[in-house]
Structure 1
């Protein structure tokens, strides 16, 4: 591969990475890491452009010194971005001090006319050490971030560290190796920044999936009690019917309206009222099976859908059990509150074969219970 092709490929790749990281840094709630990486890869791009266009000039030593100076500057920019991205408790000032020392060594060596290997000794070690730090950071945080990109980042950083440690010496003693130095460096740097892009995009994917899960949870769950809400009940009810496909199985819908909740809410306050509702929701969960469905449909009204019942009497037994638990006193901040409940029961398939019909029947049965003294369970009678 020719010298020109290597630089054209490297320059194009570096430019695309710089644009991509700059775009990523503008995404809301993205940490500062990609912004620093846009600056670091842009610095490497400038170094590559300077070398390509000015190396054939009459002052190759000056051109190479400027090229190396920009490459040294890339490393603390890269590490600062990595520290920000990985949220490490690390003082980046040490990276910058090492870079400043290397830059000073390059300038002094150029002005003093030192031998190439003497000038290369310090900046090679500094670049190698900073890249080794990048590899260590990737390994250190591999459990908390996308593992494959972190592994690729660690391996490419280690290889780049070795490359900077040996490249200047090999290039000095072998003119043929000079081109290979740039080819190897271009491939490793491209791999390194590709790993960083992959890590950022995979974190975006995690964030998107977490946001979607949160949105679904908010859409289908009651935010106060954590029970399913009315919207989700329609979906779950179809599953409940599937559990009742065996012969003689019954599904019961219990419509629960709390008695004496409004006086508690009015006199003790809404905060206490919310705690009461949370306690009732917890008691419903504790006294129903994993195959049953507990729903808060609004205010002080709840629905429990009991599946896989052997007979209709079992529905009444469950209703009385829930009623007993609801009527037990609730203690909040040293005060005791007594509730009651009126529970109406609609049965599948006796009273209907869809959710709306069963809700109407259970609601009707609940109002009959209220008219007849409350604190009871009643199965709908046509």
Structure 2
């Protein structure tokens, strides 16, 4: 059954909850699982944080704050798409946790399931840029949108090659954050002929902590990610790792062992990534996929019965004592605490809102 579109009031509430202090994607989804609607979650949020041990009130955007963000996006010609909206990209719905929302500028139809990510070094070689541009064009001609991050180097070359066929840029800042500045022309072309995507509010300038989230969306929108050039410690390898964790295909272009920019891609090949010498190597894998290229959009699941507050009280401090800087599976925390998983999840959410825990993708938790 198709999911109904959200009302204007529901969109405002959705945006307020997503922008509330201490509410990341994991906590956002846990709140909806417990309270069913953003309005009910917003109403409960201050008390939930207090129960977790928070001394200072959470900063929660007002309806006017959310409406200002919506107006800023509309002034740019952009569109906010919430995870409950039928237009939300299907591949992003498969992520755990799924992002609560995205802003889009340009042709949102390009956020289709047939997409490939291409990422690589910012300080790229001329040969690497040429290869990325040609690979993107060939994949575009084969019917795949090309997703990248609009950075200088490999990202920009991939967008340039795919512009005639369809390309998506995922930004760490808002959809109007042009970085690096020399890509202003590319940004304009992407807005006119491609699509720009961001989880951040319009007007926000990218900060260091935004790029891992940006990389997660690049891989999440793609059936597979191709690394063209990357050093051993680079954001491109983080994107490749996230792709593997998301069940996406990982591809790498081999390079000279004398070039530090080839070491990351060569290492990925040693670890089992598919070696890429042409678009045919990518297409041979992706065209053989069954069932992933057009997934059914799951309904956004709302709440069942909320756990009893007394049961949560009984286990909360025990869980806080079990947490450490080392990520721990939530099912292991449930086993060690002797509490049912729904009670553990509710207690961890309260601790997270109080800043005493952090909920991570993959059903993990660490001390806050």
Normalised TM-score (structure 2): 0.21
Structure showing the higher helix proportion among its residues:
1
Bigger radius of gyration among the two: 1
Which structure's relative contact order is higher, taking Cα pairs within 8 Å and 6+ residues apart? 2
Normalised TM-score (structure 1): 0.20
